[in-house]
């Protein structure tokens, strides 16, 4: 290894951490990534990725693997009491649906191929603005850049004392991966295209929602939303009779969900006073956890991971702190607006009316963080 190579320490082996580590390694850095779990576990249900994250995956060489078990549905439907409110084909918007385990495996392969040193069972408990991390075993390491991508309860962030505020919403979701059961669904509702993403809403007599998202030919991601105050709607294992009584056309997949372990997550938004401190930068849920309304939590994390790597690589040896501050100034407004819009959708339940993929709501979906001219003011 060349002595002149700059070194980064990354805390957190999720989507944000793996993307940042891979991008930095491909830009010539030596990178060590710490994951506190004793082994990598490809947990989770499904996910939707838009142009902002797909552009990043292009750049880190991960798209061929990602494409192998993902899909672009023909349309995004919104229904109220099973009556169509809108069917949006999302023309001109690049997007893919897939399972979270597939995305995780894809990023893990990309990180290893890029030469990232990956340590499991390695927990970063603190960081300093000067560029030193301390691990749970008491050992320390110095770096030219520290990336805190260690989630909503970030130890890196909290060790720096970065002020934050959290906003909680009245609703939450439980996520499941289940078999597609496409032929059974088709038999129940022959006129439906079961390859579409379908957002099933019910607001009366009680608020319940099922987001139906095909992830590939075999797997289906469903997210069941209910108010946190609804004990039966938020129960896990799910109350099968309740959900089938509201969404009878989904009975085959709900029956599988009822047999699948899950956890109810309340919506929340985390906002920090600042994302950077000296040589430390925070990304992902450590910096900007958000409601899932725009499906941009992972996308924004990967977007910011890439732009951080570019900004840090361009910085001179003594310019890192200033470069990170400038990176936040340029990139944070996009994430702030996504957080605001996602929070508004969660609070208002306005997505139930359909036709949401317009205007401000698709700004992030269309954003290309790899375009070097993206911040130029157009005449």
How many percent of the chain have pLDDT more than 90? 93
Residue 165: count of CB within 10 angstroms of its CB: 9
DSSP 8-state assignment for residue 250: G
Residue 208 banded pLDDT, cuts 50, 70, 90: very high
Cis peptide bond N-terminal to 348, omega within 30: no
Burial of 38 (0-12, 13-18, 19+ CB in 10 A): exposed
**What was the pLDDT predicted at 2?**
41
Q: Take residue 308 and report the two structure tokens written for it.
A: 């951080």
Write the pLDDT tens digit of every residue in 304-362.
Answer: 999 999 999 999 889 999 999 999 999 999 999 999 999 999 999 999 999 999 999 99
**What was the pLDDT predicted at 7?**
98
Cα of first residue to Cα of last residue in the chain, in angstroms, is 46
**What was the pLDDT predicted at 302?**
98
**What was the pLDDT predicted at 371?**
97
Cβ neighbors of 297 (< 8 A, separation 6 or more) are 285, 289, 290
- For residue 377, pLDDT over 90 is answered with no
Distance CA 116, CA 33 (A): 7
Distance CA 213, CA 254 (A): 13
CA-closest candidate to residue 275, choices 327, 212, 200: 327
> Average pLDDT for residues 199-210, to the nearest whole number?
96
- For residue 4, pLDDT over 80 is answered with no
* Mean pLDDT for the chain overall: 95
Q: Which domains are present in the chain?
A: 7-42+98-166+269-366 (3.50.50.60)
- For residue 105, pLDDT over 70 is answered with yes
- For residue 1, pLDDT over 60 is answered with no
**Distances from the Cα of 234 to the Cαs of 38, 166, 212, 231, 264, in angstroms?**
30, 21, 17, 5, 6
Single pTM value for the model: 0.96
- For residue 70, pLDDT over 60 is answered with yes
**What was the pLDDT predicted at 379?**
53
**What was the pLDDT predicted at 218?**
97
In sequence order, what are the beta bridge partners of 225? Answer: 173, 209
Length of the chain: 379
Write the pLDDT tens digit of every residue in 264-313.
Answer: 999 999 999 999 999 999 999 999 999 999 999 999 999 999 999 999 99
- For residue 378, pLDDT over 90 is answered with no
CA-closest candidate to residue 10, choices 33, 30, 28, 41: 33
CA-closest candidate to residue 36, choices 12, 8, 10: 12
């Amino acid at each position: 290894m060349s002595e002149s190579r700059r070194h980064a320490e990354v805390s957190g082996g999720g989507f944000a951490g793996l993307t940042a580590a891979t991008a930095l390694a491909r830009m010539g850095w030596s990178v060590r990534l710490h994951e506190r779990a004793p082994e990598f576990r490809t947990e989770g249900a499904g996910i939707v990725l838009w142009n902002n994250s797909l552009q990043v995956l292009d750049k880190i060489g991960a798209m061929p693997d990602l494409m192998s078990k993902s899909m672009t549905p023909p349309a995004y439907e919104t229904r109220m009491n099973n009556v169509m409110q809108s069917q949006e084909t999302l023309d001109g918007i690049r997007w893919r649906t897939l399972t979270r385990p597939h995305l995780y495996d894809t990023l893990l392969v990309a990180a290893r191929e890029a030469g990232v040193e990956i340590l499991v069972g390695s927990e970063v408990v603190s960081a300093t603005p000067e560029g030193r991390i301390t691990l749970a075993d008491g050992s320390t390491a110095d770096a030219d850049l520290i990336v805190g991508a260690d989630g909503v309860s970030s130890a890196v962030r909290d060790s720096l004392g970065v002020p934050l505020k959290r906003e909680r919403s009245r609703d939450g979701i439980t996520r499941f991966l289940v078999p597609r059961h496409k032929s059974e669904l088709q038999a129940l509702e022959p006129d439906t295209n079961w390859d579409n993403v379908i957002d099933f809403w019910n607001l009366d007599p009680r608020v319940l929602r099922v987001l139906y998202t095909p992830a590939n030919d075999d797997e289906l991601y469903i997210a069941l939303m209910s108010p946190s105050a609804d004990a039966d709607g938020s129960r896990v294992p799910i109350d099968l009779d309740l959900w089938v009584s509201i969404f009878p056309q989904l009975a085959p997949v709900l029956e599988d969900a009822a047999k699948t372990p899950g956890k109810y997550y309340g919506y929340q938004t985390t906002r920090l006073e600042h994302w950077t401190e000296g040589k430390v930068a925070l990304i992902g849920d450590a910096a900007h956890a958000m409601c899932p309304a725009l499906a941009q939590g992972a996308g924004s994390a990967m977007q910011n991971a890439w732009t951080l790597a570019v900004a840090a690589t361009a910085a001179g040896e003594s310019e890192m702190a200033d470069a990170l501050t400038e990176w936040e100034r340029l990139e944070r407004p996009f994430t702030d607006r996504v957080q605001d819009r996602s929070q508004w959708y969660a609070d208002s339940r306005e997505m139930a009316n359909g036709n949401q993929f317009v205007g401000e709501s698709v700004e992030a979906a269309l954003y290309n963080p790899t375009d070097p001219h993206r911040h130029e003011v157009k005449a």
